[in-house]
């Protein structure tokens, strides 16, 4: 059991104003005896302290339940709801774009690009055999023809290996961007050659 005090003494002990003490009484703070007709309110300081601590714990628990931390930033329920609504809107936009055939699944894009790259590779590898007769006519000597065709072949293989190495690097990197961008880069590289 704590010390029995009146409103003013309680206000002085806890460092709050008289209107705050009155508000606490209205909000359920324990009162030892109610005042009236010249008699003052009386409070047990231990009971009041327990009530204040329980109230503070409840407020913190409610705040914690309504707040998350993400990356050091407080995420309130309102912010979480806003993020959820934004995600729903983005999903709706993606579904609409899909229905309007403005987007394609990445596996479909990858398959088409893979076929195109395979076709380009085959055509590039066929260049030396197509050049052989023209070189033979110009150079005339079989050794010179063989040397020039081998050099063209070496350059083509070197270019294809560079393309393959850059594609392997893209596949090894963690996907922080949509997968369609690295595929488009490979396509641009093919266009440059």
- Does residue 29 contact residue 7 with C-beta atoms inside 8 Å? no
Count of residues in the chain: 193
Which of 60-69, 108-117, 127-136 is least confident? 60-69
What pLDDT does 67 receive?
A: 61
3-class secondary structure for the chain? Answer: CCCEECHHHHHHHHCCCHHHHHHHHHCCCCCCECCECCECCEEEHHHHHHHHHHHHHHHHHHHHHHEEEECCEEEEHHHHHHHHHHHHHHHHHHHHHHHCCCCCCHHHHHHHHHHHHHHHHHHHHHHHHHHHHHHHHHHCCHHHHHHHHHHHHHHHHHHHHHHHHHHHHHHHCCCCCCCHHHHHHHHHHHHHC
- In the predicted structure, residue 23 carries a pLDDT above the cut 90: yes
Q: Render pLDDT for 152-168 as a digit per residue (tens, 0 to 9).
A: 888 888 888 888 777 67
Tell me how far apart the alpha carbons of residues 183 and 104 are, in angstroms, rounded to a whole number: 13
**192 pLDDT tier (thresholds 50, 70, 90):** very low
- In the predicted structure, residue 104 carries a pLDDT above the cut 70: yes
Q: Render pLDDT for 61-76 as a digit per residue (tens, 0 to 9).
A: 877 766 666 666 777 7
The radius of gyration computed from the CA coordinates of the chain, to the nearest angstrom, equals 40
Tell me how far apart the alpha carbons of residues 57 and 61 are, in angstroms, rounded to a whole number: 6
Give percent of the chain above pLDDT 70: 82
What pLDDT does 20 receive?
A: 93
Q: Provide the mean pLDDT of the chain.
A: 81
What pLDDT does 183 receive?
A: 42
- In the predicted structure, residue 84 carries a pLDDT above the cut 60: yes
């Amino acid at each position: 059991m704590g010390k029995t005090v009146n409103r003013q003494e309680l206000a002085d002990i806890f460092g709050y104003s008289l209107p705050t003490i009155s508000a606490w009484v209205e909000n359920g703070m324990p009162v030892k005896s109610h005042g009236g007709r010249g008699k003052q309110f009386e409070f047990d300081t231990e009971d009041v302290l327990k009530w204040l601590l329980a109230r503070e714990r409840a407020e913190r628990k409610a705040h914690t339940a309504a707040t998350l931390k993400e990356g050091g930033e407080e995420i309130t329920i309102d912010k979480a709801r806003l993020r959820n609504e934004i995600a729903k809107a983005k999903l709706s936009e993606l579904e609409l774009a899909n229905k309007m055939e403005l987007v394609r699944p990445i596996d479909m894009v990858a398959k088409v690009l893979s076929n195109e790259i395979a076709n380009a590779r085959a055509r590039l590898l066929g260049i030396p055999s197509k050049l052989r007769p023209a070189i033979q006519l110009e150079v005339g000597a079989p050794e010179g023809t063989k040397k020039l065709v081998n050099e063209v072949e070496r350059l083509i293989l070197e270019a294809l290996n560079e393309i393959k190495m850059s594609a392997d690097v893209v596949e090894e990197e963690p996907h922080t961007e949509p997968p369609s961008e690295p595929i488009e880069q490979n396509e641009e590289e093919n266009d440059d050659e």
